[in-house]
Chains A and B, each alone.
Chain A
Amino acid sequence: MNLDVLVEPFKFSFMIRAFIGTGLIAVIAAVVGTFVVLKGLAFMGDAIAHTAFTGSAIALLLGLNLYAGAMALALVTALGVVFLTRVSPVKNDTALAILFTGVFAVGIIVLSAMPGFAGDLNSLLLGSVMAIQTEEIYLIAAAALAIAFLMWVFFPRFVLVSFDPVGAEAAGFPVTLVQSILLVGVAAAIVISIQAVGVVLVVALLITPAATGSLVTRRVLPLMMVAACVGLFSAAAGLYISYYLAAPPGATIVVVATSVFAFTLILTRLRSWLRRRQGD
């Protein structure tokens, strides 16, 4: 393999920033996404992404920081879900769907009220990897450190409230607080990830690597590590492919991650089938 193929994208500083930023984002999303997969919260991840979109739109309208706007509404959604699950007589997914589609619709109205909104809308919906600035790299790195700290302190507690929240709460464990901390982490990961793949595909970055990990291991920590590796590989491979094929980078990253999942699924099925045959 010609080494130039690997090196060439790094001649451009925007590509270096894209590799660093997207790599960090992919790892953050995969680590947090592990719990999203284990708890079956994919729909909620989607909801947070959509409300974060509205937060960005409002921030754009008011001339504020896009991340701050996105994070504010993502947090409201994440913590609102915790509240809804406790008080709402309506099913959780129904209440969530009502909440996030309503908020997302507000975001579309806000953006359509602004002249020249199409470009911003496009980058919010589909991501803008190549436009990552150095300051954003710092922000993403800070988010990565914060997530690493959360996992270092709370990992066994996240596992506990994910596996048996009822038993934990019955024993007086602060389940709601720990779930809220986890959801704040999920919200932060989603807001950061929107930069890479946009609102539409952000759930894929969160879910697909962790789902791939769940195919190959039955322990949480190894699953998280596999997910991080798959996320990192997908980000790097996706950027290379998009560079050489002039394809949209966010979508390409997601296609690579989906392909890795499909490939792993086929391999694991094949392995099970061979084992069954050997057992017969």
Chain B
Amino acid sequence: MTSSAVSVQDVTGGYHGDPVIHDVSWEVPHGSLAAIIGPNGGGKSTLLKSLVGLVKPSQGRVFLFGQEPEQGRKRVAYLPQAEEVDWQFPISVWDVVLQGRWLRKGLWGRLTREDLDKAESALTHFDINHLAKTQIGSLSGGQRQRVFLARAVAQEADLILLDEPNTGLDARAQHELADTLTRLKEEGRTIIVATHDLDCLTECFDQVLALKSTVVAHGSPRDVLTAEILTALFARHFPSLRETGEVVIHEP
């Protein structure tokens, strides 16, 4: 048992008996903004899914807020990769955000006036009231992220997991997303982002887990984003951000 928001203890897991991650251990304190970085196929999404029981670990244990995932995940919002969502689905922004309340109702609960107010408040929180009637697929990538985050707020999630949220976003939308995540963290939520995009890691994340099937390193961005660790993670070529803001391609 632990008081961390997320505690991963020696987890090995994967799909159909083939492990993707091995012996992963990691602690994420309450109210932190953490990143899981690594190459494609390195197990970032698998680890995220292991946290909420979408992938069952073949070995090791996961605790969410000191509870087993089955209990703890009621406080979790998971934002899947953009490609996993059917953006042509005939659903409006309002109905997506309202799903945050339905998630809390289980099989039989009905919505009350309070639920509608909380969904409305979540729209306001992200300044997307004017989009309420818009079909989700008509929005830009950044707006779609805000809608899903509004759903997480409507759900009153304490832990928000985002799988590759920067995919398909332009630079401005990425920075807006970083600001939004920082704001959510400041409100007391714990945020974990799986990403292969190294931009903004140093400026907005408290913690970074470098994952390549197993843990290569974890700690503050300054400790993890070293040439040695990034080389171990991405082999020969990887982009990195200098303190001046310049993106450079590392050549070992």
Q: Which residues of A contact B (CB under 8 A)?
A: 38, 89, 153, 156-157, 159-160, 162-164, 166-174, 177-178, 214, 217-220, 223
Contacts and interface: CB of A to CB of B under 8 A. Distances in A.
Nearest to B107: A174
A170 B76 contact: yes
B90 A157 contact: no
Contacts of B74: 171-172
Contact of A163 (B16, B52, B89, B155): B89
Given A171-B155, A172-B70, A177-B107, A217 B76 contact: no
B91 interface: yes
A159 B77 contact: no
Interface stretch (B32-40, B80-88, B174-182): B80-88
A38 B90 contact: yes
B78 interface: yes
Contact of B80 (A153, A156, A167, A173): A167
A159 B79 contact: no
Contact of B79 (A167, A178, A218): A167
Nearest to B86: A163
Contact of A171 (B98, B108, B157): B157
Interface SS of chain A: helix, strand, loop or mixed? helix
Nearest to A171: B103
B99 A164 contact: yes
Contacts of A169: 52-54
Interface SS of chain B: helix, strand, loop or mixed? mixed
Contact of B89 (A38, A153, A167, A171): A38
A173 to B, nearest CB: 5
Contacts of B252: none
B80 A160 contact: no
Nearest to B80: A166
Nearest to A173: B103
A161 to B, nearest CB: 10
A-B CB proximity, top 6 nearest? A170-B78, A170-B52, A218-B90, A172-B73, A218-B135, A172-B74
Contacts of A157: 102, 107
Contacts of A214: 90
Nearest to A223: B90
B245 interface: no
Contact of A219 (B49, B85, B90, B157): B90
A156 B54 CA distance: 22
Contact of B90 (A167, A170, A220): A220
B143 interface: no
12 contacts: A160-B103, A163-B99, A167-B78, A167-B79, A169-B52, A170-B52, A170-B161, A171-B76, A171-B155, A171-B157, A173-B103, A219-B91
